[in-house]
Amino acid sequence: MFGNLQFDKMVDTTKAKEYMKSKEVFHSLGYSDTVEYAVDSCGNKVMYSVYKRNIDFVASSVWEDQDGVTTLSCNLKELADLIEENKLLFAQIDYMERKKPINESLNIDMKLIVQNIMYVNRVITQKRYTSNVLAMQGRSPLCALGFVAQLVCGAGHVVVEAVPHTAVLCHLFVTLCRKAGLSVSLAFVKEPSLADIGCDLIIREVQRGCIFVVTEQSDIDSAIDNFIVSASQDPWRIRRVLVQESIVEPLKQILEWRSNRLPNSLLPTPNVECNSAYNIHDRLFLFEYTGLEHSDHHVVIEAYRTDEELLSLLYTYKPFTVSLWCADISQANQIAYGIDSTVIWINDFGSIDGPIKSSQAFYSIIDISYAKDRIELSIDVEKQTARALNWSKQDPSKRYTLLNMVIEKTESIGVKEKKADVLKSLEPIDFDGEDGNFVKVTNVGICVGIETRAMPFVLFSEFEIKNVLKCLLKGFGVVISSLSEKDKVFVDDLGKCAPILYKGVSGTEECLVTSRFSQYKVKVVRS
């Protein structure tokens, strides 16, 4: 009816404008200002902080007594309530500062933050880190702020570092943290250091975005309805569409019908190496693009033939999320559970509803980034890694039998740990439910969560016999930094059947390890 005539979308940002107007100048929380400042994209003045990252980490003692745990639990519950009350304000601010669609923030990021806080509230004593800093860079997703909930469980004090693009968002969040009784400060910096906190890994993984998969057993119209209006920013932004070859032409016809006529300035040129292009909702969909790189506003459409080829492509691209469109349940499950992506939607996109633990599909990535470490050993790391992976594939009952035999035979267990107590420490492990997998069935669908080992080895700073044995029983290899002479004898005995290593003198072989508090990543499949 209106041809190519377009109108600017009217977006209500009243709350955000009122909040910014009430501040005008944004100061850090817990630090004094320097004379330098920046002006953000909304014209707010952001004062840089007198701040230097403190590498002297002070661990929290909250988990040492029940009163501390109870207090922190109440603080986290209050924070979740405050976030829920202010979710629209957060969404409007992120729209004004970074042009992130409000519905996207409300339906994904804000839900994830609240879910994560409620989840952490259940596992307060199971979180430890060697850093107390969360760096919010210009491209950090809004939901990353939720990781503060994990950090306050392991640190006596937490610092959020914000750049001008994220300053107002972080100011609101830290203000609410303080209102809830949490010890959190805010520092405004020009560019946060990526050292010590794994921030680079987090950003790389979430920037892989989403791939839509449209199989021949799918409702093509529904798939297109979703991918042409899907999320526009990381980590949910669509980067590529993989279409089964037999339905390429029908899909092209629908895209042609829905697309706007491209002006000459946007028509494919020799620099845009593609078969055809479709301009829909301010995005350029490029069919069979062969260039090396493409813009954030371009979505590549690529054909595949078989499920095997599809799995190979997904392995190559390693998307953070996948939206899989397939009416055949058996085929959909084979694909969904055969890929390494963190979140998979079957015949859907963007749904975050489900058990609160489903939020860990996102936050476990940050969790592992903070917990990982690289150590140098003087042993053959490749050989020991292969041994650890083989150990993880054994049946839990076999692992139990092997460990039990070593404990029964050894005479080297120290006086601190009687043999009977050590044997008893293995008993609580439930072989049928040894992991934290979950299934939630509702009237709108099924949410399945799968815990996967993040790394083959878990690092212990000292030999904690019961925790080490439980870790081995769960299928991990163990690296121990410090051992007494008596403990070395027992570790040598264990090492004959299980992948347990003493770090010893540093060597040239690099080994990637995680801590015993951050052993798993979570994969979620929603259908």
Place of tokens 């041809």: 3
**Which pLDDT score, from 0 to 100, does residue 6 have?**
39
How high is the mean pLDDT of the chain?
85
Q: Which of 30-34, 277-281, 369-373 has the highest mean pLDDT?
A: 30-34
- Map residue 178 onto helix, strand or coil: helix
Q: Per mean pLDDT, which range of 227-236, 397-406, 432-441, 476-485 is the poorest?
A: 432-441
**Does residue 201 carry a pLDDT above 60?**
no
**Which pLDDT score, from 0 to 100, does residue 388 have?**
92
- Going by pLDDT thresholds of 50, 70 and 90, the confidence category of residue 63 is low
Query: In whole angstroms, what is the distance from residue 149 CA to residue 169 CA?
Result: 16
Element (H, E) at 376: strand 373-377
pTM: 0.88
**Which pLDDT score, from 0 to 100, does residue 3 have?**
35
Model pLDDT for residues 309-340, shown as the tens digit of each residue? 999 999 999 999 999 999 999 999 999 999 99
Dihedrals phi, psi of 323, to nearest 5 degrees: -110, 110
- Going by pLDDT thresholds of 50, 70 and 90, the confidence category of residue 264 is very low
Mean pLDDT of the region 466-479: 89
Between 3 and 282, name the one with better pLDDT: 282
**Does residue 430 carry a pLDDT above 70?**
no
**Which pLDDT score, from 0 to 100, does residue 28 have?**
96
CA atoms within 13 A on the CB side of 118: 17
Q: DSSP for 399-424, please give it.
A: HHHHHHHHHHH-S---TTS-HHHHHH
Partner residues linked to 241 by β-bridges: 212, 301
| Secondary-structure percent of the chain, ordered helix, strand, coil, rounded to 5 | 40, 20, 35
Q: Cα separations (Å) of 349 from 182, 265, 318, 332, 402?
A: 34, 32, 18, 15, 45
**Which pLDDT score, from 0 to 100, does residue 59 have?**
61
Query: In whole angstroms, what is the distance from residue 321 CA to residue 523 CA?
Result: 10
Mean pLDDT of the region 432-461: 84
**Which pLDDT score, from 0 to 100, does residue 423 have?**
65
Give the closest residue to 59 by CA, choosing from 144, 129, 137, 160: 129
**Which pLDDT score, from 0 to 100, does residue 208 have?**
86
Q: At what angle do helices 167-179 and 87-98 cross, to 10 degrees?
A: 160
Q: Per mean pLDDT, which range of 72-86, 133-147, 250-264, 482-496 is the poorest?
A: 250-264
**Which pLDDT score, from 0 to 100, does residue 186 have?**
97
- Map residue 356 onto helix, strand or coil: helix
Question: How remote is the C-alpha of 261 from its chain's centroid?
Answer: 39
Between 203 and 299, name the one with better pLDDT: 299
Q: Which of 40-54, 168-182, 291-305, 486-500 has the highest mean pLDDT?
A: 168-182
Partner residues linked to 322 by β-bridges: 211, 344
Quick one: what percent of the chain has pLDDT higher than 70? Answer: 85
Q: At what angle do helices 110-120 and 360-371 cross, to 10 degrees?
A: 60
Mean pLDDT of the region 277-300: 77
Mean pLDDT of the region 239-261: 88
**Which pLDDT score, from 0 to 100, does residue 173 have?**
99
**Which pLDDT score, from 0 to 100, does residue 270 have?**
45
Partner residues linked to 377 by β-bridges: 509
Between 55 and 152, name the one with better pLDDT: 152
**Which pLDDT score, from 0 to 100, does residue 55 have?**
58
The C-alpha angle 265, 271, 256, rounded to 5 degrees, equals: 55
**Does residue 165 carry a pLDDT above 60?**
yes
Evaluate the CA torsion angle 158, 361, 236, 112 in order and state its sign: negative
- Going by pLDDT thresholds of 50, 70 and 90, the confidence category of residue 415 is very low
- Going by pLDDT thresholds of 50, 70 and 90, the confidence category of residue 424 is low
User: Which residue segments constitute the domains of the chain, with CATH numbers given?
Assistant: 14-196 (3.40.605.10), 205-363 (3.40.309.10), 372-441+454-517 (no CATH)
- Going by pLDDT thresholds of 50, 70 and 90, the confidence category of residue 93 is very high
- Map residue 450 onto helix, strand or coil: strand
Q: Are 475 and 391 spatial neighbours (Cβ–Cβ below 8 Å)?
A: yes
Q: At what angle do helices 87-98 and 14-23 cross, to 10 degrees?
A: 80
**Which pLDDT score, from 0 to 100, does residue 8 have?**
43
Mean pLDDT of the region 292-315: 87
Residue type, 55: I
**Which pLDDT score, from 0 to 100, does residue 7 have?**
38
